Amino acid sequence: MKNKNETERSFFMLTIAVCEDNPIASREISQKIEQCSPMEAQVLSFSDAADILTAVREQKVEPQIVFMDIELRDSSGIQTAKDITSVLPDCQIIYITNYVDYASQVYESSHIYFILKSQIDTYLPKALHKAIARLKELEHFYLSIQFGKSSARIPQKDILYMERVLRNTEIHTRDASYKTTEKLHDLKDTVENWFCFSHRSFLVNCRHIITMNRQFCTLSDGTQIPVSRTYYKELQQNFMSCMWEEDQK
């Protein structure tokens, strides 16, 4: 379980988007979000589906929460939400509308809350807190790191191994590598239990181990990682446990 400091370290400032074609309503919703958000948040406003979809697809913004008007001027908010979550699957959608008739239609897409605009003062804080709680649950599946002014959020399942090199830790996936000044033992406390030390300088994702012996373990991309006598038994047990879990699927 993460302690308070670890949660604060891994969960950075929220980016919240409001997609609403009525400028007065958009401004009011944005102000309410800023007033009741329990975390520091950047609130961005979009007046139509094309603008927010272009920004998301071109990676100009990556909102964690979107307040989506269902009836946009030229398009369906429900379809727009589907398009957003196809790019950002963890994005939490909160639908807002004047019409209760849409209540059943929203279940065609993934969403966290449905709010009638006439009840927004009552339900916006509840919806926002629920969305943030869900995002924090999802954080268990990611490793969030910071290096200087840069940050990254890496799916834990994609991490092959981490290596301590001088004063930095290098985090390797099949497609990319990342650096952080955080120590391996501190990172070990924030990841799932299928990460295990193979050596004092290496933390390995046991789900990516293909074979191992007392000197090396070979990962799914062919990388060989050294295994020390100190960590061999624990690594072997963790590797066998991961193999058993795979067999049960």
Number of domains, the chain:
2
Task: Return the DSSP state at 176.
Answer: -
Same-domain status, 170 and 244:
yes
The enclosing domain of 55 has a CATH number of 3.40.50.2300
Domain annotation covers residue 145: no
Q: Report the pLDDT value the prediction gives residue 138, as an integer from 0 to 100.
A: 76
pLDDT number for residue 199: 97
Please indicate, yes or no, whether residues 60 and 113 belong to a single structural domain of this protein: yes
Cα(230)–Cα(201) distance, integer angstroms: 12
Per-residue model confidence as pLDDT tens for the chain (249 residues): 334 334 333 445 789 999 999 999 999 999 999 999 988 889 999 999 999 999 999 989 989 999 999 888 888 888 999 999 988 888 999 999 887 776 667 777 778 899 999 999 999 999 999 999 988 777 778 898 988 778 888 989 899 999 999 999 999 998 899 999 999 999 999 898 899 999 999 999 999 999 999 999 999 999 999 999 999 999 999 999 887 766 544
Please check whether residues 27 and 130 belong to one and the same domain: yes
Residue 106 belongs to domain spanning: 4-140
Residues 78 and 176 in one domain: no
Q: What are phi and psi of 238, to 5 degrees?
A: -70, -40
Whose tokens are 């690594």? That residue is: 235
Report in angstroms the alpha-carbon separations of 112 from 122, 131, 197: 16, 6, 38
Backbone angles phi, psi at 99, to 5 degrees: -120, 120
pTM: 0.60
Write down the pLDDT at residue 79: 92
As given in the structure block, the two tokens for residue 147 are 């290096």
State residue 12's pLDDT score.
Answer: 52
Establish if 120 belongs to a structural domain.
yes
In this structure, the answer to whether residues 34 and 131 fall within a common structural domain is yes
Please check whether residues 132 and 213 belong to one and the same domain: no
Q: Residues with Cβ < 8 Å from 190, sequence gap 6 or more?
A: 2, 6, 10, 143
pLDDT at 23: 93
Domain boundary among 140, 169, 188: 140
Look at residue 148 and tell me if it is in a domain.
no
What is the model's pLDDT at position 246? 60
**Backbone CA torsion sign across 64, 68, 73, 79:** positive
- The pLDDT assigned to 5 comes to 38
Q: Answer yes or no: do 68 and 44 share one domain.
A: yes
- CA–CA separation, 92 vs 89, rounded Å? 8
CATH number at residue 199: 2.40.50.1020
In this prediction, residue 121 carries a pLDDT of 93
Residue 74's pLDDT is what? 80
Select from 11, 74, 15, 70 the least CA-distant residue to 45.
Answer: 15
- Looking at the fold, whether 163 and 127 belong to one and the same domain comes out as no
* Residue at 11 is within a domain: yes
Q: Judge if 57 and 136 occupy the same domain.
A: yes
